[in-house]
Structure 1
Amino acid sequence: MVEELVIAVIAAVCACGLYAMAAARVVRQYERGVVFRLGRLQEGIRGPGFTTILPFVDKLHKVNMQIVTMPVPAQDGITRDNVTVRVDAVIYFKVVDAAEALVRVEDYRFAVSQMAQTSLRSIIGKSDLDDLLSNREKLNQGLELMIDSPAIGWGVQIDRVEIKDVSLPETMKRSMARQAEADRERRARVINADAELQASKKLAEAAKEMSGQPAALQLRLLQTVVAVAAEKNSTLVLPFPVELLRFLERATPAEAVQAVQAVSGAVQAAPSPPGDQPAVATSAPTGTTTTAEATDAPDAPEAPEATEPGASDLAAPGLTAPPKVSSVPASVPTSAPSLDEKPQKREDAQPV
């Protein structure tokens, strides 16, 4: 009798232990428990910690309440400006109502993933390429609203949606690279033009200041000449006097032209070699002749030769025409006289 009682007690203890093990459940801190009794949803959500259910009657479903990171597969689409792109994204969401997440939808993860893909394709078709590349924040907000609207009825809250990458065709990449290069070149030209404008203004101010100080202008001219002469080149530098420029500014147009011609003749003139023959010219009414050294100035006109009596009409008043020589005597030397010899008066020269 005692043995049977002991066996019954042991069996009861084992049954209680098995029942306790079947009824005991542990819910973690980041989880919530939803109990279904005979297939019917029970009121109340089991919080974290130790809880019990009726074995073989109740069924406890644990729902993760943490934020879930789900990558959205890359989607091919055509933008509003007819450009083929490939866009992928990532979505962050969490369950805010465990009972709704289990009752309203079969698999809330799969449902959110499919909704994200369709919304992403819709966003691609409604946007331009420039918006996909530069205005992603606005697109992210629009995509979040499109996914969150149906997901809120599933007990799921969309926390954030981000577009990860936008892939373009190779031809479009080359076109965009050329466009970016042209834009950079345009900005560089604008910057250079602004720099030249500022430099010209500063130079104008400097010229205005130096115009009132001739010494500073002369010093600047000397500095420029020294800088040019320091370079190793074959450039011949002829400084132009500043005083002449000031004279030309104050002079009349006719006087300015004469001054410029005088300076040009002085620069281009060069001394004649010692072997040139002296030129003989008749000047005074007495018929005396003087010698003048010939120069190779290109601007000096040649004196006309008077070979006929009528040529004396071209001479200036008070001057005698050169005598007419009929023949050359045999005693006249063929070589030109030297510079040391004085010219002799011609006996047969008679005034006209």
Structure 2
Amino acid sequence: DEGKAKPGHVMHTVGFPTAKDTYAGSFLYHMEPNLVLCGYVVGLDYPNTYTNPYQEFQKWKTHPKVAEQLKGGRCISYGARVINEGGYQSIPKLTFPGGALLGCSAGFVNVARIKGSHCAIKSGLEAGKAIVEYLESEQKETLGVEVRKYQESMEKSWVFEELRAVRNIHPAFHKFGFYGFMLYSALEAFILRGKGWWTFRNDKPDSAKTAKKDQCTPIEYPKPDGELTFDLLTNLQRSGTYHDDDQPSHLVVKEHMSEVPVSVSFSEYDGPEGRFCPAKVYEYITDDDGSNPRLQINAQNCLHCKTCSIKTPEEYIKWTVPEGGGGPQYSGM
């Protein structure tokens, strides 16, 4: 509806519809010409194995404040992607022989600002400077070289300073709970400004934070209406994702973990990969009588979001590089 368009309008939310023990929030941007870009972010450290991030997104769109901006419009594109928002405590070693980690792959996301593009640009500049400096030096070796100057430059840059200042924002959620987190975030933003001497640690991987099915309550989600909310496969078509059917699957169960999908993920966690995957790549099939459960991987559906390499129980999936040209074909995203 062109009458609702407000180019430049920005809305961020927390709370609805996720449970109070789940770190989540949304964004909604109005852009020209007559476009609304919206999304819902769910922290993969959520505890309830029955949480379905895609369905949380659909339910979020039913909130009156959101629905009023979307009704009358037409959904034209869909996608999904993991955001590396572990913060300052999770920044890895940035260099290795023959390469370096930049931008989102290095985790340079300011969680408090929901922004990382400025840090990504800075990391590209510093990496380029370090490489040029090495090439202009008297060093002759170039094959497999590790340009450590990039790591040193980033540690001295405003990027590390900025990320250190907000290092406790996300960890505070699980330390103090939803309401305590809101108070602590205000304290950090307006008073402490990252100058506190303490640091809350990320104590274990997201895959280890999922509770087993007998400790969780199943979540009922409303059926899609086809106008504001959609079933997953309908939206998947809007991603333009494509992989040749005869190419080897780029999603592989690790060799020493062939029993984990059924004996651990399905039996103990009720197959969370069937819920957290935004492309219906993973599903458990059984015989007609419900026996003999086994994992089926529909790799051709993949959106390359990387959630499965993070959240599957015991991290049993190895994400490898698919054939060139395969994957989502995003337009205007």
Q: TM-score, normalised by structure 1?
A: 0.20
Q: TM-score, normalised by structure 2?
A: 0.21
The structure with the largest strand share of the pair is 1
Larger radius of gyration: 1
Higher relative contact order (CA 8 A, sep 6+): 2
